[in-house]
Structure 1
């Protein structure tokens, strides 16, 4: 069990460790526990991510996800989709994805320096997580902290913490400025979970 969890943790850590011009959507007073309306799920680097009906994103696997609503729902979808897109980007496309989904700063520079030193050949199907949902630990008009809950092939659960900031009229990843990553093993899904699994068709 510990070996399986270790493999699962690698993916979760990768998602948070790598944890564009956008929408003009008017700000709302939506609750952080209100779920986004999901239009469809798409596969990015072997991982399914949700695409909102009105909260974003637009773009595709090879184009940086952008165009999120200035709401908690938009922030959550940015945290999920942009983290997956960046962590699974190919050796050829990661510079374009990084520039489009991450806010400028020390964290983005650190990521670029480290990513340029490694080669990624693809995603191991046995380690691919399923996005269960999320909770929002903190939210303001300028920043949000989103805990993304994931389930792995051995039914273990983990929550990875991703920060996003509102810049240039869109949400973008605020990458950590050191080598640490935040991941928490879970015994069960949080009671305040915004469940996204039921939106899969």
Structure 2
């Protein structure tokens, strides 16, 4: 009985290693937090613990936001609020990762796995940065998310090529890093540059820089030419960042 289990463990380990290596090679999304596979059940989601002031993240309910395929977004600009996170956020789990939703900042429309219509504001850019980043990587229809919400160019082409090589267990990991904090590096109504901090299952904090541009009435993710967000740096604490997350 032990031999079959050992073979399964070796197979799972090889899958995890290959996927992790590919993620590292292109510094893929989620702040370059590597998917960590473990045990015999590679698709079991982690238990979501309540976040202070946010409540526990719940599974994303179907149709939790209004649908509106093809309809333009109509969300007026809002005043800048860089010092504090939006106060009307609830969190819901998408593919084991907690995502933020705000009545004021968006997404105003969830069409299948595409979340769009974010407020033309710092909070809209913040929520869009995490929503789009996670969905580009983990959505079953990641091609549609990427095509509609990542700006066209060498970065999108490189990411699409690299992501297409990852299939099967890569979209249903056992544990992904979760959002832990952020800070704005730069903000104008046309360009938002943020640093997102993720916390791994082991507690390690990593920070990556995410660039969002306001194009055609919504926030779009901009990737570097190699298909990555930015180089990732491990940090020791959330000092100088705003702590914010749903898990």
Class of the TM-score when normalised by the shorter of the 2 chains = 0.7 to 0.9
Alpha-carbon spacing, 1:61–1:130, altered in 2? closer, same or farther (3 Å): farther
Secondary structure of the structure 2 residue equivalent to 1:125? coil
Q: CA deviation at 1:179?
A: 4.9
TM-score where L is the length of structure 1: 0.80
Distance in structure 1 (CA, Å) of the matches to 2:173 and 2:166? 16
Distance in structure 1 (CA, Å) of the matches to 2:133 and 2:243? 18
Q: Which residue of 2 aligns with 1:4?
A: none
Distance in structure 2 (CA, Å) of the matches to 1:101 and 1:25? 17
Partner residue of 1:14 out of 28, 39, 45: 28
Q: Which runs of 4+ in 1 moved over 4 A?
A: none
Q: CA deviation at 1:36?
A: 1.3
Partner residue of 2:190 out of 120, 125, 142: 142
Matched, 1:125 2:174: yes
TM-score where L is the length of structure 2: 0.66
Gaps of 5+ in 2: 1-19, 33-69
Give the RMSD, CA atoms, in angstroms.
2.7
Gaps of 5+ in 1: 1-6
Q: CA deviation at 1:23?
A: 3.3
Further displaced range: 174-183 or 75-84: 174-183
| Rg comparison, structure with higher value | 2
Partner residue of 2:146 out of 98, 107, 127: 98
Q: Which residue of 2 aligns with 1:196?
A: 244
Alpha-carbon spacing, 1:185–1:106, altered in 2? closer, same or farther (3 Å): same
Distance in structure 2 (CA, Å) of the matches to 1:174 and 1:57? 18
